[in-house]
Structures are given as C-alpha cells and as structure tokens.
Structure 1
Amino acid sequence: MKSCAQCKQQNQEDAKFCYQCGNTLAVEPEAPLAATVIHTDENLWRQFIGPHADRYLKHFKKFGLGEGSKFVLTWNWPAFLFISFVWFLYRKMYVYALVYALGPMISTYLTGDLTVGLVWSIMAGATANYVYYWHCREHIGKIKKGSWTDPVKLDEALKESGGVQPYVIWVGIAFYVLFIMTMIKMLQDGPTDGERSPEKPAKPTAASSV
C-alpha cells in the first residue's frame, strides 16, 4: 500500500492520487536496468592499449584512428630515451623488438662507432607511435571479426592481445647487457687473423760492399 503524505490514507500501489484528499502521491522511481556495456571503437582501442591510453590515442587521432591513415611526425620519448628494443618488447611488438635489438649492434660492429646507436634511437623516437598505431589497428581489426556475445570475454581478448608486459623488460635488459658486453669485447679484440691485412714485407737493406 502507498501512504498519502498529507492525510495518511492508505492507497493502492499503482494509485497516482489519494482516494481521500486527492493529493498527488509520490511516484517511486523504477529500478534502473542493468547497464549494457557498449564498445565503441575508441573503447576498444583503450582496452587494447592499456597504460597511458589517453596519450597514445591523442597521437593516433592524428593518424586517422582506424579511418584513412596517414603518417604524421610525432615523438615518443620512452622509445628514444630508453633502450628502444625494450620499449617495443614492453608493448608486445616482438618483430620490431628484434630489429631494434640487432640493428644497433650490427651497425656498431660494422662501423666500429658506438655512437651509431643514437641514430637508431632517433629513428625509434620519430616512428614508434606510428608503428604502434598500425600494430594496434591490425590486432583490433582481427579481434573485431570474431563474434563476441560476452563483453567480458571481449575485454579479456583485448587485454591479452594488447596491453603491456612489465616482466619482459628485465629479461630484455639482461640480454641487452650481455650483447653490449660481447660487442665491446669484439671491438677490443679487432678483426680475426684471417681478416687482418697482410703485413708489408720489410725493405731489403743495401748489401755492404766487399
């Protein structure tokens, strides 16, 4: 029963006015329906990116964010300041991690110049956001092709395929230190005996007169 606030008359639950005094009865709000999770494209990207999604989406919108993509020069400080291949490993871009792990070392070995790694760092800083954009776009596109009826499982798939791997950083750093030590040792030792240029023969001394 519904009580009238003015005359205290008890009324039916569905009554809008009091039967005794005609006062308008309070209408109880209906219980809210369970919120339906709606995955817009931007939400999918946020779920896939994980940490610092706002920062990366700001750059991705310059590239087109899934529409007509175009390259725009941006800068990624983590990819530049830290060991570049570790950042790619952290963001689960394993092919690029391998390229940026071997590239600087091979270049250093061939040139004998340790500062050549700076060129790779600048290249990573200037292109990392765009490379990551295409990585996200490709994987999100594959996930969207699946028939997802459970939003929770869709979120799990996005986080599993995307996101970051913090523990991989320490493994990557350990391997990189090992590679650097090996490279320094190779530069110190110089080329092998087979690669060394043959020594010039000594000039013959003039024969003493008899």
Structure 2
Amino acid sequence: MNTEENKLGITKEEYDLFISDNVDYYMGDGRFIFVAMFLGFAWFLWRKMYVYALLIIIGSLSLRIILTFIIESDSTYIILNPILTVTISLIYGFYGKSLYLNFTKQKIMKIKMENEDPEKQKQLIEKSGGINPAAAIIATILFFLFPYVI
C-alpha cells in the first residue's frame, strides 16, 4: 500500500474486504489485467462496476453503428472490426486495474464518510465489493443474443 492510500485512510483490511478475491493480483505491481482484456464489459460487471459496464456497452454499440454508416464497403468493415475489437480489448487490459482501484477507493471512502461505526463500515465495504458472477453471465448471454432479437 502506498502513501496515497495512507493519506486517504484506507487500510489493507478494507481493501481485502472490498476486493475479496485475488487481492494480491489487484494490489500488486502488475499493470495489465488479462481477464479484463478477454471479458471486456463482463469483467466490469463481475467486479460490480455497473456504470462502467453500461458505458462500455453503449459506447461499443454506438461505435459499431457509426462505423457501419461511415464505411461503405463490407470488406473494409471486415478488416476494421477485428482491429477495433483488439484495440478496445487492450485498452481494457491496460486501464482495467487503475479504473478498478480508483473505483474501490471511491466506494470505500464514501462508505467511511457516511458511516462512523467501524463495524458498520466493514459490513458495507464487504457488501459493496467482491464479485457478481450472475450479472456478468446474464449480461454476456443477453449481449450475444441481442443480434438475433433485433
């Protein structure tokens, strides 16, 4: 834990409670998150970063819709689509950890500011953090079914 966390008053125990699994992975020195790269928006849902996931879905769909109007030939789209997908995935991988740690800090600080009781803080931190596999799985299934529904 660096001096910034000490200034914020966030303890290792609070990070452990919020992150819950793979704490060392997220608090360690590595910058790239392979899971975020491969799972994209589903990883953000998995980590309970719902607003980020929604923005990613809206942004991704909007970008693809705009590209279909801008690009006149199917062959150009076929070439650009995988390049765009890989680029976006790499961005998730490189920035996922910093986004998640900032999200974690904000959530913990908000809980600590709104609740003075240390035991209540611990309960809320643990409840707010962790993972939500159901949201990630359901959203992924719906995302893949989306083209067939329209």
In the superposition, the TM-score normalised over structure 1's length comes to: 0.56
Q: Count the aligned residue pairs.
A: 129
Shift of 1:95: 1.3
Give the match for residue 108 of structure 1.
Answer: 64
Give the match for residue 45 of structure 1.
Answer: 15
Distance in 2 separating the partners of 1:126 and 1:41: 25
Which string of whole-angstrom CA distances, capped at 9 and with x for unpartnered residues, describes residues 35-57 of structure 1? Answer: xxxxx711111101111111111
Give the match for residue 116 of structure 2.
Answer: 147
The aligned amino acid for 2:90 is I
The aligned amino acid for 2:16 is R
C-alpha change, 1:181 and 1:106, in structure 2 (3 Å) is: farther
Give the match for residue 132 of structure 1.
Answer: 100
Asked if structure 2 preserves the Cα contact closer than 8 Å seen for 1:108 and 1:117, the reply is: no
Give the match for residue 81 of structure 1.
Answer: 38
Q: Which deviates further from its counterpart, 171-180 or 45-54? A: 171-180
The aligned amino acid for 1:52 is N
**Which consecutive unaligned segments of at least 5 residues does structure 2 have?**
1-9, 69-76
Shift of 1:144: 1.9
**Which consecutive unaligned segments of at least 5 residues does structure 1 have?**
1-39, 63-73, 186-210
Q: Which deviates further from its counterpart, 173-182 or 86-95? A: 173-182
In the superposition, the TM-score normalised over structure 2's length comes to: 0.76
SS of residue paired to 1:129:
helix
2:53 aligned residue (69, 87, 97)? 97
C-alpha change, 1:90 and 1:49, in structure 2 (3 Å) is: same
Give the match for residue 137 of structure 2.
Answer: 170
Asked if structure 2 preserves the Cα contact closer than 8 Å seen for 1:75 and 1:125, the reply is: yes
Shift of 1:180: 4.2
Distance in 1 separating the partners of 2:85 and 2:43: 15
Answer 1 or 2: higher relative contact order, Cα 8 Å, separation at least 6: 2
Asked if structure 2 preserves the Cα contact closer than 8 Å seen for 1:104 and 1:117, the reply is: no
C-alpha change, 1:181 and 1:124, in structure 2 (3 Å) is: farther
Give the match for residue 13 of structure 1.
Answer: none
The aligned amino acid for 2:144 is V
The aligned amino acid for 1:54 is D
The aligned amino acid for 2:112 is K
Which string of whole-angstrom CA distances, capped at 9 and with x for unpartnered residues, describes residues 50-82 of structure 1? Answer: 1111111114xx8xxxxxxxxxxx211001012
Distance in 1 separating the partners of 2:145 and 2:59: 15
Asked if structure 2 preserves the Cα contact closer than 8 Å seen for 1:86 and 1:97, the reply is: yes
C-alpha change, 1:81 and 1:175, in structure 2 (3 Å) is: same
Larger radius of gyration: 1
